[in-house]
Homo-oligomer: A and B are copies of this chain.
Amino acid sequence: MKLSGRSIIGDSRGSQTDEVFYAFNPAASEQIEPAFHAATVAEIDKVADLATLAAVEYKHKSSKQRSAFLHAIADEIESLASPIKQRVILETALPAGRIDGEFARTVNQMRLFAEVAKEGSWVQARIDHADPERQPVPKPDVRSMLRPVGPVLVFGASNFPLAISTAGGDTAAALAAGNSVIVKAHPAHPGTSELLGLAIQQAAQKCGMPPGVFSLLFGADHQLGAALVTNPAIKAVGFTGSYAGGRALMDLAAARSEPIPFFAEMGSVNPIVVLAEAANERGTAIATGLYAAVTLGVGQFCTNPGLVILEGSVEQQGDANGVESIISELVKLMKESSAEPMLTAGICSAYHQGIKRLAAISGVKMLVEPSADSTGYCVGPGLLETTAETLLAERSLMHEVFGPCTLLVRTSSHAEVLELVEALEGQLTATIHGTPNDLSENHELIDALEQKAGRIIVNSFPTGVEVCHAMIHGGPYPATSDGRSTSIGTQSIFRFARPICYQGFPKTLLPAELRDENPTGIWRLVDGEFRR
C-alpha cells in the first residue's frame, strides 16, 4: 500500500507542500519514507468549510445510516490490517502482540459505537406533553434530546497509534454522535494515520456520506494544532497527550471569542495503595502484578502506576515483611528486565530527565536505575523509594514521569496514607490492594479517592482499560481538563453532543427520536417515566 504523505481533505488530497517531515523507526533508529507534507493555511480553511457543510448533512442521516458508516469503517480498517500493523510497528517499535491487541480494540470499539448509534437511546430523549387546561397557565409541549455539537477536532495520541488516534475512540464517538471530524495526525505515526484515514475516506464514499465528514491533516509543529483549535468552525476538541500540550491547547480553546468544550486527557500517576494485611498475605503477587503494570508497553500508558503508597512500612507497625517482600521482588524483577525502545527520542529523554529530577530530591532513594542503550530509544525500568514525609514536603514528587518507572512511598500509619491521598492531585485512576478485612475498615479511603480519581480499582491494576459501557477514563484536573467526561468507553459519546429543546414543534419538524410514535424505538423519559 503506497503512502502519499498528503493530508486527506474530504474526498480529495492535500498538496505536496515543501514543508515536510518523516516518521522515525525507534527500533532501527532510522528515518522512514515517504515525506509527509504539512497542511497549508488554505487547506485548514478548506477542511473547516467542508466540515461545517458536512455537519449539517451528516446530522440528518438516520441512526441506522450512521451505524452502517461506522461498521463500514471497521470493515475497511480490517481489510488493511496487514499494511496498518506493519507500518505502526515500524513507526512505534511497539511489540507485535500489543499491536494485535490494539488493532482488535480499535475495530471492536468502532463497531461498539456503531451499535450505540443504532440502538439510539444515548440521545436521552425527553418528552413532556402539553396540558392546555393547566392553571394558572397552560403547559407547553417541551421535548429535548442530545444533538451533535458540530465539527469535532481530534488529536492523535502518540502512545495509542490505533485506539486513541485517527480512527480511535474520540473519532468513533464523534461520528456516532453525528458530527463531522477533523483529525490532526500525530507526527510520530503519520503513515499509520494516513492508512486509517484512507479507510475512513473509503467508507464515507461507499456509504454516500458527505465528503467533509472526515479529514486528516498532517503537520509536525504546534502551529497546526493551534490553528485548528482556534478555528471558528471547530465546536469541540478531543486530545490525549502531555499536560504541557493539553494545558496550552485548553487555554487557547478557552480564549476563543466563542470558547468551546475541550477534552484533554493529560495523564496522571495513578496511585496504588497497598494496605498492610494484603501486603503481608500476598506481597510477592502484588509485586509481580505491579511490575507488569509499570513495564507494560515500556510504561507508555496513561494509566501507568507511578506512585505506590505502602501502608505501615516505616515504623514496622505489626508485621511489615509484606512491604519488604514487595520491594525486594520488584527490585529483582526490574533488574532482570531488558531495555526496550520507547516511542520517540523526546519521550525517551524526558523519561531519563524525569527520573533524575525525582532522584535528586533529598529523601528519595534510587533502587533501580534505568538502563539505556546507545540508540537513545531503549530504556529499562526505574524504581525509586521515599517516605510520606518527604512526599508531603515536596509535592513535585507526585508529578508524572512518563515511562516504566514508579515511586514507592513508605508510610508510618493509616492516617498518613489518608493524608497522602488527600494531598493528591486529580487522577485518572486510583487502586487499592487490600484483604476483605483491610477494605471493610476503609470507607474513608474510598471517600477520599472518589474526590481524586475517575476510576477506582480494587485488587487489580489500572492498565488495560476495558472499552465498555461503564468505563470512565477521566478524572479531576489535572488528569483531564474536564472531570465530567471519559475518553474511553461508550460514554465518551456525550462529549460531542449537547441538549437541544424543542417547544411547541409540529411533528414533521421534530427529529425522529422525539416524535410521539417513537419510530426509532429508543428508551425515553416521557412525562417523567422511562418508556420504550
A interface list, Cβ under 8 A from B = 56, 59, 101, 115, 121, 126-128, 136-137, 139-140, 142-144, 147, 149-150, 254, 258-261, 425-426, 436, 439-440, 443, 446-447, 450-451, 453-460, 464, 466, 468-472, 474, 476-478, 481-484, 486, 491, 497-506, 508-509, 523, 525, 527-528, 530, 532
Contact = CB atoms under 8 A, between A and B. Distances in A.
Contact of A472 (B56, B127, B499): B499
Contact of A470 (B115, B127, B443): B127
23 contacts: A56-B447, A115-B528, A126-B470, A126-B491, A127-B470, A128-B468, A128-B469, A137-B464, A139-B466, A142-B466, A143-B470, A144-B470, A144-B471, A450-B500, A454-B498, A459-B504, A469-B527, A471-B501, A476-B498, A484-B497, A484-B499, A523-B530, A530-B530
Nearest to A127: B470
Given A56-B447, A261-B482, A458 B144 contact: no
Output the residue of A443, A453, A464, A472 with the most chain B CB within 10 A: A472
A464 B134 CA distance: 14
Contact of A500 (B436, B458, B472, B498): B472
A470 B254 contact: no
A451 B484 contact: no
B136 A457 contact: no
Nearest to A457: B503
Nearest to A453: B500
Contact of A458 (B258, B474, B503): B503
Contacts of A468: 128, 139, 142
Nearest to A450: B500
Contact of A530 (B121, B137, B460, B498): B121
A254 B447 CA distance: 26
A203 to B, nearest CB: 24
A150 B470 contact: no
Contacts of A454: 498-501
Contacts of A477: 258-260
A142 B454 CA distance: 12
A456 B498 contact: no
A357 to B, nearest CB: 20
A523 B469 CA distance: 15
Contacts of A503: 455-458, 460, 466
A127 B136 CA distance: 44
Contact of A501 (B126, B451, B470): B470
A505 B56 CA distance: 44
Given A486-B499, A501-B471, A506 B426 contact: no
A472 B501 contact: yes
Contacts of A506: 436, 439, 458
A126 B469 contact: yes
- Closest CB pairs A-B (n = 9): A472-B501, A126-B470, A455-B501, A128-B468, A457-B503, A144-B470, A142-B470, A484-B498, A128-B470
A478 B144 CA distance: 21
Nearest to A56: B447
A143 B525 CA distance: 23
A506 B443 CA distance: 12
Given A115-B528, A457-B504, 6 more contacts: A101-B136, A128-B469, A149-B483, A458-B503, A476-B498, A530-B532
A59 B451 CA distance: 12
Contacts of A136: 101
A471 B523 contact: no
A426 B149 CA distance: 13
Contacts of A258: 425-426, 476-478
